[in-house]
């Protein structure tokens, strides 16, 4: 789908080795070097820097490699769609673990009714991993709650959701009428892993109060939201979660939202996909149906 020079550069960006690139493409190493030099000359851009034994990409090289990766993945999907007479295809999407059991269930129900496909794959992960998979074409779109560079993707805001501090109803802080950030520091903080949108948001909120996560008495990192909520229910620490995930527990009284003086915010939940995607009309249809259910 792309010219030979671009294809060679794409492989080189992945291997970071002239030798391995030549082996993968079944050409000589000098041929690889010549193709990269011709590409740099035609674009008037420096794409790679080679200082034995290390090869690195320039900023322009990294940006071009990301674009070529997206373009090639998109081309394969479009071709498959055309070969299947625009009828059925495989669909894959990612969703952050925090949102999977609530929004993921709704989206799959929508797609079963509205989409025509032979296979549907839902991958749970954190915000960083999902955005990376959209970028390299592994998945079609994603549902994320973390911050990201809005210039790199097409996106829609599903809804704004309160991001709240929670504790067990038996926790000492549950009886207070007002809580400060300093009050929280005496207790273990249960938090998601690096790369999670929830962790990024909480880190930002704490920093606004001149607090680091390391200031808490203990820090428990849990990648599974269900386990995280169970630990909070058992009174083993405090946490911050989207209200939509704990509404039933708040209603039942097993969890309580802390009356934190500052720091409770509403944060956007996003429907994200590659820019200029051939399948953008499909994605927009699913987003609109999902938005209608969540508002």
CATH (domain of 89) = 3.40.190.10
- Find the Cα–Cα–Cα–Cα dihedral 11, 12, 13, 15, rounded to 10°: 90
88 has a pLDDT exceeding 70:
no
The mean pLDDT of the chain is 88
- 87, part of any domain: yes
pLDDT tier at 185, thresholds 50, 70, 90? very high
190 bridge partner residues: 220
Report residue 263's pLDDT band, with 50, 70 and 90 as the boundaries. low
Residue 178, phi then psi, degrees to nearest 5: -150, 140
Do 165 and 176 lie in one domain? The reply is yes
Please check whether residues 85 and 230 belong to one and the same domain: no
pTM for this predicted structure: 0.74
Q: At what angle do helices 18-25 and 4-15 cross, to 10 degrees?
A: 130
Q: Count Cβ atoms within 10 A of the Cβ of residue 125 and give its class: 0-12 exposed, 13-18 middle, 19 or more buried.
A: buried
Domain that holds residue 249: 160-266
Q: What is the pLDDT of residue 93?
A: 93
Residue range 157-174: average pLDDT?
Answer: 93
- The confidence band for 203, taking pLDDT boundaries of 50, 70 and 90, is very high
In the chain, the number of structural domains is: 3
**CA–CA distance, 155 with 283 (Å, rounded to integer):** 10
3-state secondary structure 184-233: HCCCCEEECCCCCHHHHHHHHHHHHCCCCHHHCCCEEECCCHHHHHHHHH
Predicted confidence band at 87 (pLDDT cuts at 50, 70, 90)?
low
152 neighbors 290 (Cβ within 8 angstroms): no
CATH code (residue 15): 1.10.10.10
Q: Is residue 15 part of a domain?
A: yes
3-class state of residue 82 by DSSP: helix
Q: Which of 65, 97, 116 is the last residue of a domain?
A: 65
The domain that holds 214 is classified in CATH as: 3.40.190.290
Confidence of residue 94 (pLDDT cuts 50, 70, 90): very high
Same domain? For 191 and 247 the reply is yes
């Amino acid at each position: 789908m792309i010219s030979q020079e671009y294809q060679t550069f794409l492989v080189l960006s992945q291997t970071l080795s002239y030798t391995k690139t030549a082996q993968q493409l079944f050409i000589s190493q000098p041929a690889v070097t010549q193709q990269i030099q011709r590409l740099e000359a035609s674009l008037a851009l420096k794409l790679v820097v080679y200082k034995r034994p290390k090869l690195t990409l320039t900023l322009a090289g990294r940006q071009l490699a990301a674009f070529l990766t997206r373009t090639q993945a998109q081309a394969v999907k479009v071709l498959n769609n055309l070969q299947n007479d625009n009828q059925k295809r495989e669909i894959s999407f990612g969703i952050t673990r925090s949102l999977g059991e609530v929004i993921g269930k709704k989206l799959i129900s929508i797609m079963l009714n509205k989409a025509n496909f032979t296979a549907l794959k839902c991958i749970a992960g954190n915000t960083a991993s999902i955005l990376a998979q959209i970028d390299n074409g592994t998945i079609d779109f994603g549902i994320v709650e973390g911050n990201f560079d809005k210039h790199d993707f097409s996106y829609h805001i599903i809804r704004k959701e309160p991001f709240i501090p929670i504790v067990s109803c038996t926790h000492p802080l549950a009886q207070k009428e007002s809580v400060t950030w300093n009050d929280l520091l005496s207790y273990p903080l249960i938090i998601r892993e690096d790369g999670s949108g929830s962790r990024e948001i909480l880190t930002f909120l704490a920093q606004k109060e001149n607090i680091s996560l390391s200031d808490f008495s203990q820090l428990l990192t849990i990648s599974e939201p269900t386990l995280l909520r169970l630990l909070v229910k058992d009174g083993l620490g405090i946490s911050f979660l989207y209200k939509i995930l704990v509404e039933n527990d708040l209603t039942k009284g097993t969890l309580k939202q802390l009356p934190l003086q500052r720091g409770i915010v509403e944060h956007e939940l996003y429907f994200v996909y590659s820019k200029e995607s051939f399948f953008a009309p499909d994605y927009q249809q699913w987003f609109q149906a999902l938005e209608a259910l969540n508002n």
